[in-house]
Chains A and B, each alone.
Chain A
Amino acid sequence: MNTSDSEEDSYNERSALVQCESPTIPSYNQDHDMSLPQETDTKRRRPVSSGLDEPGPVERERASTPDGEEEELTLKYGAKHVIMLFIPVTLCMVVVVATIKSVSFYTEKTSQRLIYTPFEEDPNSVGQRLLNSLLNTMVMISVIVVMTIILVVLYKYRCYKFIHGWLILSSLMLLFWFSFMYLGEVFKTYNVAMDYPTLVMIIWNFGVVGMICIHWKGPLRLQQAYLIVISALMALIFIKYLPEWSAWVILGAISIYDLIAVLCPKGPLRMLVETAQERNEPIFPALIYSSAMVWMVGMADSSNPDSADERQRNEGGALAQEGVESEDDATQGGRRRYSAEEDLEEDRGVKLGLGDFIFYSVLVGKAATTGGDWNTTLACFVAILIGLCLTLLLLAIFKKALPALPISITFGLVFYFSTDNLVRPFMDSLAAHQYYI
């Protein structure tokens, strides 16, 4: 099955670790760079810029406390944000690994390929296989680059309706078609009898609630759950349809692209972020996982709730800024809909682009497909979490947008290959003799 363009579209936007910093209170925010997630297609992975939300507002609140306490709070809040990201990343990986280990559909090799990886990998000749995987990678990366550039151009020329329609189409496909496929395979694996009317009801409800939660308003936890689920679905599709070697080379190439796109002055992502910040607009809601309430702004603008909705719907750049700003206004205006004793610290969540979720899960899922061995999966899992932790640490130090993929994917790749080839025989021999180290 060759996937269609809209699927590709829906892929583009994910990823990037974004901060919720408001640029309008510069004296308290040091990092207000949010890397914008790639908004393009769902399929395209976007380099991720990451931003850790520094406790700017927290500092504002606690301006009177001594510096040491502030530093300690900074550390505690930094740690809290790291955990707020560890949990969803872990959940996404757990869903993907559980599916891979139980539903055999996603590990069956088919001759169908995505149109983005047109070259077939011939298992007989190593050189040919390597060459084809490199060509596949080049095709995929160039498609991603083109899509990102199209997105930046569209955004610059304010074609919000087009972008928005694109995003809706891609989420529609993920929420209805892919989840229908997934459910079908799960039922087949567990031999569950299901009739079409029930299935239609389930998928319809799931899809519609998902669309509402992601693109409009909904409880935060539900929105987070849906974003995790669609990231997992996307990752499963990649795991199934990307050829073996191409997948690994693509993972490596995407991290390099991420690095370039976010850090180079003319990189598309960087331009997107800067444009968004200039215009003071929020980022597309369907592409970012947000861990805080700030996301729920729609209500926050005290003067014009409708326009706030409108703005939110129109995706745009700076994500949390708008949200955070509004949140502050709301605090003053006393208008908070989902407030939970609104700790200002609680509001400052961290945002991570869905692309990051997807690629992390692809890596761990592929590690899980090397049948039978859980050590490789565990090693990749720990490596990715540590990479994420280091990225957030760097973010806290440098206080500017950083890509979230490179460090984690590098660690993940290194640990995958070394655990699979070196540690596995060692641990197998030890287990056979029941020696313990």
Chain B
Amino acid sequence: MTVAVFFGCTFIAFGPAVALFVFTIARDPLRVIFLIAGAFFWLVSLLLSSLVWFITVQISNKNSATQQTGLLIFGVVLSVLLQEAFRYGYYRLLKKANEGLLALSQEDTMPISIRQLAYVSGLGFGFMSGAFSVVNILSDSLGPGTVGIHGDPQHYFISSAFMTLAIILLHMFWGVVFFESCERQRWWALGAVVISHLVVSCVTFVNPHYQGSLIPTYIILSIMAAWAYLCAGGSLRNLKLCLTCKDKDFLLANHRPR
């Protein structure tokens, strides 16, 4: 039973992300590098927020449970804000690097477009965030134990897996929308991304009432998915053409007959 739970939760949490990686990123070394760099940036943001949280915990009253919970909530909000700040920092770094490369090469095209970078960096953030959230839980799910023996929720593992899946995909969509809004100087869109991230994190405060946290998260996921799709240049017409295999550009690019 434990092995089944382990594999099930792993595939739920990481399945789509790994599929995206294998089919779109693994072939191109440049994208892999930027993915790992994105993961690194997320890690640094986590480090900073943990540092601040740790300091506040040390100077606080360790015995008061409400104070500790309050500090944890503060830590979550701070972490979200820092993550978005680092996403912005990563965006600036990539722009600078791209500009430098462009100047060097005197070519019109860059080896990797800013939209691809947005997708890849978002996925990098997502991978790292998902991994940090769920890997310890997965390794615990293998070992001997009883879920919720003290009256805690029974659906701990599976809800964690679904939440992680949502977070990974959300990071990817946030990345796309974020970079696009930075490119077009649409600051309200930037704010919307930050606020939606805050909402998703704050909604998890009602756990273990999973209907209160998972449902809003998935609603926000679908909204962000549609928004990211539109930002990336998609439209209903494109979607229809793609699904009915009539999209000429796509077919030409893949050398397939219509």
Which positions in A face B, CB cutoff 8 Å?
66-72, 75-76, 79-80, 82-83, 86, 372-375, 378-379, 382-383, 385-386, 389, 415, 418-419, 421-423, 425-431, 433-437
A374 to B137, CA, bound (A): 10
Q: 28 A-B pairs, CB-CB below 8 angstroms? A: A66-B107, A67-B105, A68-B108, A71-B105, A79-B29, A82-B29, A83-B32, A83-B33, A86-B36, A379-B43, A382-B36, A382-B43, A383-B40, A383-B43, A389-B33, A415-B43, A422-B47, A423-B50, A425-B50, A425-B54, A425-B57, A430-B76, A430-B133, A431-B137, A434-B204, A435-B73, A436-B200, A437-B201
Interface residues in B127-145 by Cβ distance below 8 A to A read 128-129, 131-133, 135-137, 139
Enumerate chain B residues within 8 angstroms of A382, measured Cβ to Cβ. 36, 39-40, 43, 128
Proximity bits, B172-195, A CB within 8 Å = 1, else 0: 000000000000000000000000
Q: Which of B88-96, B155-163, B225-233, B234-242 contacts A (4 or more CB under 8 A)?
A: B155-163
Enumerate chain A residues within 8 angstroms of B109, measured Cβ to Cβ. 72
Q: Are A431 and B29 in contact (CB under 8 A)?
A: no
Q: Are A71 and B107 in contact (CB under 8 A)?
A: yes
Q: Are A76 and B111 in contact (CB under 8 A)?
A: yes
A426 to B52, CA, bound (A): 10
A374 to B104, CA, bound (A): 41
Q: Are B54 and A75 in contact (CB under 8 A)?
A: no
Task: Contacts A68-B107, A76-B30, A386-B40 given; indicate if A437 touches B80 (C-beta within 8 A).
Answer: yes
Q: Are B50 and A437 in contact (CB under 8 A)?
A: no
A79 to B54, CA, bound (A): 38
Enumerate chain A residues within 8 angstroms of B164, measured Cβ to Cβ. 436
Task: Contacts A72-B107, A431-B137, A436-B204 given; indicate if A386 touches B36 (C-beta within 8 A).
Answer: yes
Interface residues on B, range: 35 or more
Enumerate chain A residues within 8 angstroms of B107, measured Cβ to Cβ. 66, 68-69, 71-72
Task: Contacts A382-B40, A385-B36 given; indicate if A427 touches B136 (C-beta within 8 A).
Answer: yes
Residue in chain B with minimal CB distance to A419: B47
Q: Are B139 and A374 in contact (CB under 8 A)?
A: yes
A70 to B79, CA, bound (A): 42
Q: Are A431 and B201 in contact (CB under 8 A)?
A: no
A427 to B156, CA, bound (A): 16
A320 to B30, CA, bound (A): 25
Enumerate chain B residues within 8 angstroms of A421, measured Cβ to Cβ. 54
A433 to B36, CA, bound (A): 29
- Among the listed B47, B57, B76, B128, which residue makes an inter-chain contact with A418, where contact means beta carbons less than 8 Å apart? B47
Q: Are B29 and A426 in contact (CB under 8 A)?
A: no
B73 to chain A, nearest CB (A): 8
Chain B interface mostly: helix
B54 to chain A, nearest CB (A): 5
B156 to chain A, nearest CB (A): 7
Q: Are B104 and A422 in contact (CB under 8 A)?
A: no
Q: Are A80 and B29 in contact (CB under 8 A)?
A: yes
Enumerate chain A residues within 8 angstroms of B57, measured Cβ to Cβ. 425
- Among the listed A80, A86, A386, A433, which residue makes an inter-chain contact with B72, where contact means beta carbons less than 8 Å apart? A433
- Among the listed B72, B104, B105, B156, which residue makes an inter-chain contact with A435, where contact means beta carbons less than 8 Å apart? B72
B53 CB–A CB distance under 8 Å:
yes
B207 CB–A CB distance under 8 Å:
yes
Enumerate chain B residues within 8 angstroms of A373, measured Cβ to Cβ. 136
Enumerate chain B residues within 8 angstroms of A389, measured Cβ to Cβ. 33, 36-37
Q: Are A82 and B160 in contact (CB under 8 A)?
A: no
Proximity bits, B197-216, A CB within 8 Å = 1, else 0: 00011001101100000000
Residue in chain B with minimal CB distance to A421: B54
Interface residues in B97-153 by Cβ distance below 8 A to A read 101, 104-109, 111, 128-129, 131-133, 135-137, 139
A422 to B136, CA, bound (A): 16
Ranked nearest first, the 7 interchain pairs of A and B with the lowest CB-CB distance are A68-B107, A71-B105, A83-B29, A434-B207, A79-B29, A68-B105, A426-B50
Enumerate chain B residues within 8 angstroms of A425, measured Cβ to Cβ. 50, 54, 57
Task: Contacts A375-B136, A422-B50, A430-B76 given; indicate if A436 touches B101 (C-beta within 8 A).
Answer: no
Enumerate chain B residues within 8 angstroms of A379, measured Cβ to Cβ. 43
A158 to chain B, nearest CB (A): 40
- Among the listed B54, B72, B139, B208, which residue makes an inter-chain contact with A430, where contact means beta carbons less than 8 Å apart? B72
A83 to B34, CA, bound (A): 11
B10 CB–A CB distance under 8 Å:
no
A434 to B212, CA, bound (A): 13
Proximity bits, B31-60, A CB within 8 Å = 1, else 0: 011001101100100110111011001000
Residue in chain A with minimal CB distance to B28: A79
Enumerate chain B residues within 8 angstroms of A423, measured Cβ to Cβ. 46-47, 50, 132
A46 to B33, CA, bound (A): 27
Q: Are B54 and A426 in contact (CB under 8 A)?
A: yes
- Among the listed B29, B51, B163, which residue makes an inter-chain contact with A436, where contact means beta carbons less than 8 Å apart? B163
A222 to chain B, nearest CB (A): 23
A379 to B164, CA, bound (A): 18
Q: Are B167 and A68 in contact (CB under 8 A)?
A: no
A24 to chain B, nearest CB (A): 28
Residue in chain A with minimal CB distance to B55: A422
Q: Are B72 and A79 in contact (CB under 8 A)?
A: no
A172 to chain B, nearest CB (A): 36
